Structure 1
Amino acid sequence: MSDIRTFQYFANNQWHDPADGGWFDSENPANGEVWARVPDCRQADVDRGVAAAREAFCDGPWGRMLPAERGRVLRRIGDVISKFAERLGAIETQDNGKLPQMITPGLREGQWLVDSWHYYAGMCDKFEGRVIPAEAPDMHNYMKWEPFGVVAQILPWNSPLGTLIWKLAPCLAAGNTVVMKPSEHSSCSTLELMDVLLEADLPPGVLNVVTGFGSTTGEPLIDHKDVRMASFTGGTAGGRAAAAVASRQVKPIIMELGGKSPQIVLPDADLELAVNGVAAGIFPPGGQSCISGSRLLVHRSVVEEFSHRLVDVVKKAKVGEPNDPTTQIGPMANGPHYRNVLDRIAAADDAGHKLLLDGRTACRDKGYYIGPTIFADVPNNADLAQNEVFGPVASIEAFDDQAEAVRIANDSIYGLAAGIWSRDVTSAMRMADRIEAGTVYINNYFNAATQSPVGGYKQSGYGRENGWEGMRCFMQTKSVWLATDPHQPDPFG
């Protein structure tokens, strides 16, 4: 028991035990063993976090801070995170199995952990109001941007630090204060980040973290009377529930939800490029990404060759412990998800889809390992093609022409991302215009940048993260009318 680390929750720059003394365990997905205890926060703990955030916004220095001053704080946060990146990455690896090389600055989301803060530090004083030429004599009308106040942020388990910073940096740049609730499956890296950020000299109450479960922590947080808006990343079912809670008090909420993203391989595609890109767009994070391009639509003339090449490339991937430097695919992030993915593979197998590569051979006695799995001849109305697996599982369906490919791609409740592989860039760009998705990749997949907005169409959510749009979502507009020559005639004279 002495090897198990106990975390506390974070409010008003202080650490607290849960008010009712409840805790829950966090498992290391590499071996399935409990390594940490996390507070099971309830209403009293949520109240403490929200009260701290409200005081910081209404009465503390944060609410009175000039935008340029906020920018200096955000830049300092980025510098501190860069200094402690390896420490943060080690905790995230232990808590959800993410490979360390995916978190280290300079690679993938690791660089975003720093760059986002520096980008939004520069954005703090760039939101300018405007004068509106209202057709009213002796009136001056202007518009200004303002923060909402206290913002609730609900985080997913697959990329806690990356998702958190995508939300947190623009939200603070806009002038809000925040109470975060990380997933019960991966809370520890968020709590560790708060400990790191104490070195950044943030005013008390600007950042707060309560941990626990959706119904007993997340719902009371979104529903709290002093929370003015919310941001949610997670599954579509969870997003529907969060939106319903927010609607009780007519609170705005931005959501990035599930996806079942198609990748379209046209007959003129460079097959080597397409195979490598498709594989990179699904398997390195174990399929545990909302934009995972796991629904493969391949032109009938090349589907057989493409499928053989994909299997040959993917079967070489080494599935193993995340701290092994030779590992290329780590474990599923938690036990319940691991078992769900295995159930989905079994169901697809039972449904008669052609199994080209079976990742269940990577399963072990300890830990939550599943290797790349590929099914062929999967019609678009099948469960495997329509519903998110969030694991290293791809389905292949053939199509005959571009119109059919677009129809199949759009025949989904989701619209988060899509990929197109073709040598004819002009044709691919025209196709991209017809795809119902918030992000479309042409001859690449899985790229992102702090400056580029991310978000979904349809049931993949609404609102945007990253870029100007990401900061705008955390702000509201105010219109002010000033009488330059005050006079008011008697309205009844």
Structure 2
Amino acid sequence: MSMIKSYKYFVGNAWHDPAEGGYIESENPANGRVWARFPDCREADISRAVAAAKSAFYDGPWGRMQPAERGRFLRRMGDAISKHADRLGEVETRDNGKLPSMITPALREGAWLVDSFHYYAGMCDKFEGRVIPAEAPDMHNYVKWEPFGVVAQILPWNSPLGTLFWKLAPCLAAGNTVVMKPSEQSSCSTLELMDVLLEADLPPGVLNVITGYGPTTAAPLIEHPAVRMISFTGGTAGGRAAAVAAAQTVKPVVMELGGKSPQIVLPDADLDLTVNGVAAGIFPPGGQSCISGSRLLVHRDVIEPFSERLVQIVKKARLGDPLDPSTQIGPMANRAHYESVLKRIAAAEAAGHRLLLDGRNACRDEGYYIGPTIFADVPNSAELAQTEVFGPVVSTEAWEDEAEVIKTANDTVYGLAAGIWTRDVTKAMRMADQIEAGTVYINNYFNAATQSPVGGYKQSGYGRENGWDGMRAFLQTKSVWLSLNPHQPDPFA
């Protein structure tokens, strides 16, 4: 029997046991067996983490540090991450089943995820104030941006490291300190990262990680009076709860939430390109991505050949242990989610939707495997078309009129992403302007870059991550009025 790895939580550049002694077990979704455990943090642990972050900002060197010096720390962080890319990728795979090919290459030097630290390192001393032409005589009015102080970052279970990097690099570049709370379903890679980042020699308290459940760890952290701003990624229900908790102390929140993203296939689309792109836009991560393009709106003239090709392509996918290099689709990230996806598939079948490919045939006695699942003739009003499954499940619906398909694409509470497949670039751009989504892909899907903002419309969240927008989210605006010729007459003369 293999040893179970035991993590502590990370505060002030040191490791700590939980004050109440509780731990949470992590199952490897590839086999369903416990491989690690991590702390179940409660009030005393939260207070310790927030106090360390507050001290680092107000009393330690971080809050007074010159921007260029912060940039040097961020560069060292990026270098340390790329040095340990294989180690970090393997831990995340064991923790939530993500294929190493989807995380490890992005952590190596020159790759876009790790380069977010280098990108924001260069931005540290690039955000500048501005002078307002005040009409009052002898008055100088200028605007500057300042950090909030202690920021709480709540991370999801599907992509802990990728999401963390999008938040952490701009947050630190802006001058804040951080308390992170990863999901109770996948906390180990975040804790492993802290051990790696000790090599960057950051001042104690700048980075802190507490682990535990939403109601007993995340909610008290969000409500803590010393926490000044919240960055949240997760499901829409969790986002609502975070917003309510933050409202108790009137904190700003940036949140990226769920989606039910449409992909519109026009009759002139290159079907080979389109089928490959649609398949890549959902199935390799097992549909466990907020932007998965799971709602396929295909023109009636091509829906039959499109569906046939899609089924044939995804039937070839190799499911298995994500640590096996030949595996192309890994397991669902945890037992509870695996059972949820199976219930969604059964409900869609019971509702009478035509099943073209049944991923339940991939289920095994060991591990949480579900294969690609394709339903046909699913009206947009159906639960399957409106509810985020977050699994390898797609629905197709035929359309004929361009104006109507835009209405259908927008007929959802979500607005995270969308895809358009056509040879007519002018038409694609016109349609992109009408789609209510934070990101629109034309003849591609699933691309991202540190420089490009991401975020949602409607119930997919608000605020943006990445690029200048991502850094601006972690800064607050201050207006300063300076009298150049101080003179104040008696107001009651």
User: TM bucket by the smaller chain?
Assistant: over 0.9
Look up the match of 1:396.
Answer: 396
| Contact kept in structure 1, 2:260 and 2:414, CA below 8 Å | yes
- Take 1:107 and 1:216, find their aligned partners in 2: how far apart are those partners? 32
- Take 2:456 and 2:109, find their aligned partners in 1: how far apart are those partners? 19
| Contact kept in structure 1, 2:88 and 2:104, CA below 8 Å | no
Look up the match of 1:290.
Answer: 290
Asked if 1:114 corresponds to 2:126, the answer is no
TM-score by length of 1: 0.99
| Contact kept in structure 2, 1:261 and 1:416, CA below 8 Å | yes
| Contact kept in structure 1, 2:278 and 2:445, CA below 8 Å | yes
Residue 187 of structure 1 and its aligned partner are, at CA, apart by 0.1
Q: Which amino acid aligns with 2:301?
A: S
Look up the match of 1:24.
Answer: 24
Identity, % of aligned positions: 80
Look up the match of 2:301.
Answer: 301
Change (3 A) 1:107 1:142: closer
Asked if 1:361 corresponds to 2:361, the answer is yes
Give the secondary structure class of the aligned counterpart of 1:41. Answer: coil
Asked if 1:3 corresponds to 2:3, the answer is yes
Q: Which amino acid aligns with 1:378?
A: V
Residue 108 of structure 1 and its aligned partner are, at CA, apart by 10
Look up the match of 1:99.
Answer: 99
Q: Deviations over 1:62-117 (max 9, x none)?
A: 01101111011101100010001111111001100111111123589992331100
Q: Which amino acid aligns with 2:163?
A: T
Residue 417 of structure 1 and its aligned partner are, at CA, apart by 0.1
Q: Deviations over 1:373-407 (max 9, x none)?
A: 00000000111000000000000001111111101
Look up the match of 1:462.
Answer: 462
| Contact kept in structure 1, 2:330 and 2:369, CA below 8 Å | yes
Structure 2 gaps, min length 5: none
Asked if 1:273 corresponds to 2:273, the answer is yes
Change (3 A) 1:140 1:252: same
Residue 24 of structure 1 and its aligned partner are, at CA, apart by 1.2
- Take 2:109 and 2:306, find their aligned partners in 1: how far apart are those partners? 29
Q: Which amino acid aligns with 1:376?
A: A
Q: Which amino acid aligns with 2:218?
A: G
- Take 1:2 and 1:318, find their aligned partners in 2: how far apart are those partners? 27
Deviates more, 1:397-406 or 1:284-293: 397-406
Give the secondary structure class of the aligned counterpart of 1:319. Answer: coil
Look up the match of 2:377.
Answer: 377
Q: Deviations over 1:296-351 (max 9, x none)?
A: 00001111111001101111100110011110000000000000000100111111
Look up the match of 1:227.
Answer: 227
Look up the match of 2:478.
Answer: 478
CA RMSD of aligned residues (A): 1.2
Look up the match of 1:249.
Answer: 249
The runs of 4+ residues in structure 1 deviating greater than 2 Å are 105-113
Residue 2 of structure 1 and its aligned partner are, at CA, apart by 6.8
- Take 2:460 and 2:378, find their aligned partners in 1: how far apart are those partners? 22
| Contact kept in structure 1, 2:82 and 2:108, CA below 8 Å | no
Give the secondary structure class of the aligned counterpart of 2:452. Answer: coil
| Contact kept in structure 1, 2:83 and 2:108, CA below 8 Å | no
Structure 1 gaps, min length 5: none
Give the secondary structure class of the aligned counterpart of 2:111. Answer: helix
| Contact kept in structure 1, 2:154 and 2:232, CA below 8 Å | yes
Q: Deviations over 1:151-190 (max 9, x none)?
A: 0000000000000000000000000000000000000000
Look up the match of 2:446.
Answer: 446
Look up the match of 1:346.
Answer: 346
Residue 37 of structure 1 and its aligned partner are, at CA, apart by 1.1
| Contact kept in structure 2, 1:361 and 1:371, CA below 8 Å | yes
Matches within 5 A, 1:311-322: 311-322=311-322
